[in-house]
């Protein structure tokens, strides 16, 4: 009998928000509805993007400076990366056709990898938290399972000049043999997106059955909460076309991210000073900080470039790309589990 696994908050919240379970019925509904994200969300899109998407990009920066010991552990990220980002962004806006397009392609190509990494991180957290100690081979298998939607997007984005289309010239991609190979690759990856998580579950199940593991028969199998983020991330890139996948994956990824940041933040604060401030207040302060910084980054910052004479389009798109890349870099360091205080939060006994 499959088990849910050990939750952070509670079965419903962990399944629907952190696990990304909400994406499954939502994807089915959106697929049946058939309208694009922009058509469907209409005027509510900018508000949704601010409250979820832009707030989540800001959340990694808020976490970098609020997580105990993070600035000391990662001085380059904390102290030098802001200036480096500013300098690189300014160069890219000044040289749009040379550098700007590379920054945009980098951000958009990296994005699905970032989602895959988050799915891997969440799945690993739930495995550890639920008492499933993954062996090296199982970790590798889980990582590959999480990476399948990324590989799918590398091929799916080729026509838009992203992913494979970023590195291969249009003439090469337009050759019949290459175009056919890309189509076959997409179909194959559509299957692998869902087959690889099954292979991971089977691998863990088989190890559990092996008598050489000592008390193997009592070892737990993969919890559903570890599978949900992996499957949910795959659904977007298989069910929707490239750009709609981007919009929906980003919104739900942001929701997931904000939830997990909130849990870690509140728990760390309460561990440091138990009872001094209520969890709700900590949560409200954190979220207000994320929305405020998101607004400053995405809505105010591009206007400064317009003030000094650059266009609206390059200012907005390249600020978006630079903030994306900054977020990906910061995230790669601040969510490590090994030899990091994050591990203590993941393994904490009771739900938050």
Binding-site member from 97, 212, 218, 350 for other proteins (CB under 8 A): 97
Binding-site member from 2, 35, 39, 76 for other proteins (CB under 8 A): 76
100 near other proteins, judged by CB under 8 A: yes
The closest of 113, 101, 111, 117 to 167, measured between CA atoms, is 101
Q: Residue 118 CB, nearest distance to other proteins (Å)?
A: 23
Residue 275 φ/ψ region, left for φ over 0, alpha for ψ in the -120 to 50 degree band, beta for the rest:
left
Whose Cβ is closer to other proteins: residue 186's or residue 260's? Answer: 186
190 near other proteins, judged by CB under 8 A: no
183 near other proteins, judged by CB under 8 A: no
The closest of 228, 235, 240 to 201, measured between CA atoms, is 228
Count Cβ atoms below 10 Å from residue 39 Cβ, excluding itself. Answer: 10
Binding-site member from 22, 26, 159, 279 for other proteins (CB under 8 A): 159
**Token match 């205080």: residue?**
341
70 near other proteins, judged by CB under 8 A: no
Binding-site member from 12, 28, 86, 137 for other proteins (CB under 8 A): 86
289 near other proteins, judged by CB under 8 A: no
Whether residue 225 contacts residue 14, with contact meaning beta carbons closer than 8 Å, is answered with yes
* Interactions with other proteins, residue window 24-43 (CB under 8 A): 38
Q: Residue 124 CB, nearest distance to other proteins (Å)?
A: 31
Binding-site member from 195, 299, 333, 352 for other proteins (CB under 8 A): 299
Query: Nearest 5°: phi and psi at 169?
Result: -65, 155
Q: Residue 82 CB, nearest distance to other proteins (Å)?
A: 4
Q: Residue 351 CB, nearest distance to other proteins (Å)?
A: 35
Whether residue 117 contacts residue 146, with contact meaning beta carbons closer than 8 Å, is answered with yes
The closest of 294, 333, 325 to 108, measured between CA atoms, is 325
Query: Nearest 5°: phi and psi at 331?
Result: -60, -35
49 near other proteins, judged by CB under 8 A: yes
Q: Residue 275 CB, nearest distance to other proteins (Å)?
A: 33
296 near other proteins, judged by CB under 8 A: yes
- Please tell me the count of residues contacting other proteins according to CB under 8 A: 46
Structure tokens of 128?
A: 């550890």
Give the burial class of 14: count Cβ atoms within 10 A of its Cβ; 0-12 exposed, 13-18 middle, 19 or more buried.
buried
The closest of 7, 108, 73, 63 to 289, measured between CA atoms, is 63
The whole-angstrom separation of Cα 19 and Cα 42 is 27
Count Cβ atoms below 10 Å from residue 233 Cβ, excluding itself. Answer: 28
Stretch that binds other proteins, among 1-9, 15-23, 195-203, 302-310 (CB under 8 A): 302-310
Whose Cβ is closer to other proteins: residue 240's or residue 298's? Answer: 298
Binding-site member from 26, 45, 91, 219 for other proteins (CB under 8 A): 45
DSSP class of 163: T
* Interactions with other proteins, residue window 162-181 (CB under 8 A): 165, 170
DSSP class of 350: S
Q: Give me the residues that bind other proteins (CB under 8 A), please.
A: 38, 45-47, 49-50, 75-76, 78-86, 96-97, 100-101, 104, 159-161, 165, 170, 295-296, 299-307, 311-318
């Amino acid at each position: 009998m499959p088990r849910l696994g050990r939750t952070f908050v509670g079965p419903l919240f962990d399944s629907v928000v952190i696990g990304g379970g909400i994406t499954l019925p939502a994807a089915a509904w959106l697929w049946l509805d058939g309208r694009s994200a922009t058509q469907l969300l209409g005027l509510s899109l900018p508000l949704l993007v601010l409250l979820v998407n832009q707030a989540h990009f800001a959340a990694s920066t808020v976490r970098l400076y609020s997580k105990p010991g993070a600035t000391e552990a990662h001085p380059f990220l904390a102290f030098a990366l802001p200036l480096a980002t500013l300098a690189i962004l300014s160069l890219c806006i000044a040289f749009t056709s040379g550098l700007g397009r590379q920054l945009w392609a980098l951000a958009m190509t990296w994005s699905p990898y970032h989602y895959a990494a988050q799915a891997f991180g969440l799945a690993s957290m739930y495995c550890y938290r639920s008492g499933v100690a993954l062996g090296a081979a199982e970790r590798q298998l889980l990582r590959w399972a999480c990476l399948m939607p990324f590989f799918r997007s590398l091929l799916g984005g080729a026509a838009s000049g992203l992913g494979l289309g970023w590195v291969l010239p249009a003439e090469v991609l337009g050759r019949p043999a290459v175009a056919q190979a890309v189509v076959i690759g997409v179909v194959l990856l559509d299957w692998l997106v869902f087959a690889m998580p099954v292979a991971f579950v089977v691998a863990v199940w088989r190890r559990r059955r092996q008598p050489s593991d000592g008390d193997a028969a009592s070892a737990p199998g993969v919890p559903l909460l570890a599978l949900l983020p992996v499957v949910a991330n795959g659904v977007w890139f298989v069910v929707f076309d490239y750009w709609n996948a981007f919009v929906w994956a980003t919104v739900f990824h942001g929701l997931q991210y904000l939830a997990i940041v909130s849990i870690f933040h509140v728990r760390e604060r309460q561990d440091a000073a138990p009872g001094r401030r209520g969890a709700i207040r900590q949560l409200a302060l954190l979220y207000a900080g994320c929305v405020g910084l998101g607004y400053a980054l995405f809505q105010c910052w591009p206007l400064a470039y317009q003030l000094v004479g650059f266009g609206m389009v390059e200012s907005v798109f390249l600020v978006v790309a630079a903030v994306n890349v900054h977020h990906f870099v910061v995230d790669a360091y601040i969510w490590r589990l090994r030899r990091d205080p994050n591990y203590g939060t993941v393994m904490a006994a009771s739900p938050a």
